[in-house]
Amino acid sequence: MKITVRQGSLVETRADALVVGVHSGSKKLSGENAAVDRACQGAIREALGYEDFKGDVGQAVFVPSGKAPAKRILVVGLGEKKKFDGAASRTAAATAAKCCRDARLKNLAFAAADEDATTAMAEGLGMANYDPALHLTRNKDKRPPLLAKATFCVKDKVAGVRARVARGLAQAAGVNFSRDLVNEPSNCLTPTAMANRAKAMARQFPNLTCRVWGPRDIEKNKMGGIIGVGRGSAEPSQFIQLEYKPKRQIKGMKTIAFVGKGLTFDTGGISLKPPAGMELMKFDMGGAAAVLGAFRIMAETQPDVRVLGFVAAAENMPDGLAIKPGDLLTMMNGMTVEVNNTDAEGRLVLGDALHYAKSKKPEFIVDAATLTGACMIALGDVACGLMSEDDKLVKLIEGAGKASGDEVWRLPLQQRHRDLMKGHVADLTNTGPREGGALTAAGFLSNFAEGARWAHLDIAGTVWTDPGDALNPKGGTGFGARLFAAIAEAAAK
């Protein structure tokens, strides 16, 4: 979708639909809204009196266009004026995009009165203009078409609005890149295929580099967690390493690191999962998708911070060579782990990745993983769990969550959670008691980040949506891509 920014009035703009935003409780129209209302002979004011349209965020209604140069006028709710923010702008734009797509309209136009809201509006349009049917071969013409064009009409500051639009579209592109990865069937997105997509992405941008360790390098570097988890699969494990370097080199520039869990499919291994819903275990690489999507965003938004990315990609399968409950693994940092449940495999691959990330001595490390069902029970799909003992880092991430729209919620991480993961015949076991499962998982991971500033994000509840909405169609949400990019922006300040 192309977004054009033009200086001029909305009522004079030709489009399939002119979009007018109104706050809940609005009684009067002014400015551009009043001009469009006059052109459509009062249809917008009439809509404000509809019983089923209150102007709430997420509501929209088509009205006749009258003499306006458009097929339709779309009135979109903005919610309460005093609560209007970037999130409301994003959702309103997404609602407009979905309504127009459902009506098979190809282009729409907005009045971009608030320059600060423009980034969120462009982001919402880009996120709503996504089709998760990656491999549909029949009846494509019956699906809502993607938007071809949107026009933002402004009075002045054209260059500034264009820059904000570009940022919003870059963020949406990163989210959609992540969504594609999560939505792919696991036989299409193997660990090797994920590594190839990371390399292809890096080739697109001069400020990104990517290198990949295959099984031989993983073995050479004694990454026992990745080796053990991938042992039962015919698909070779991969360790993906990304680097973002800003064009502007600043003295004393920080280096930070992001780590993502990349289980392209998780059967549970010998500790086999129940069959119902197992097909969704293709999304167990959602943390990896978040890291890769963030690098796609940063390549365009260019924050002034060096960023390293590490993705441990593997399949967890119950082959005859697979690790068994009770087996012993020796991790990259030399610690031994008694595997008492092969379905707690994500923390094993993350342990090696965290240790390797720590060896690069970044300012801080943040990992993301679809790690525990316990976190889904605790927080649902509203927010991801944030666990760290570094209050300053937590504050940075919470601010990034608010700025990006990827909400986080802090959960406690204490020495008790680490103690519960101590082993009997080994240094650690890979699962603890049922209670507090998200916290003991973080306690396990802390052994591999020890000595570094580190935070863990459990995104199990936020990486997938069903049935979905205007902003997040059914399937992968791309959660974490914007959050990681916002963390990088905050670290650069």
Q: What is the dihedral of CA 94, 96, 98, 101, to 10 degrees?
A: -140
Distance of CA 189 to the CA centre of its chain: 18
- Choice among 90, 98, 101, 347 that is catalytic: 347
Q: How far apart are CA 403 and CA 424, in angstroms?
A: 44
Supply the angle between the helices 437-449 and 346-359 in degrees, to the nearest 10.
30
Cβ–Cβ < 8 Å for 474, 466: yes
Sign of CA dihedral 80, 407, 399, 176: negative
Is 273 considered catalytic here? yes
C-alpha distance from residue 316 to each of 67, 186, 229, 330, 437 (Å): 61, 11, 6, 18, 20
Q: Which two tokens stand for residue 38?
A: 């006059």
Q: How far apart are CA 71 and CA 108, in angstroms?
A: 10
Count of other CB atoms within 10 angstroms of residue 180: 19
- Choice among 245, 273, 360, 402 that is catalytic: 273
- Which residues in 224-377 belong to E strands, given as ranges? 238-244, 255-266, 306-316, 327-330, 336-339, 365-369
Is 347 considered catalytic here? yes
Tell me the helix, strand and coil percentages in the chain, rounded to 5.
Answer: 40, 20, 40
Q: What is residue 240's DSSP assignment? A: E
**Residues catalogued as catalytic:** 273, 347
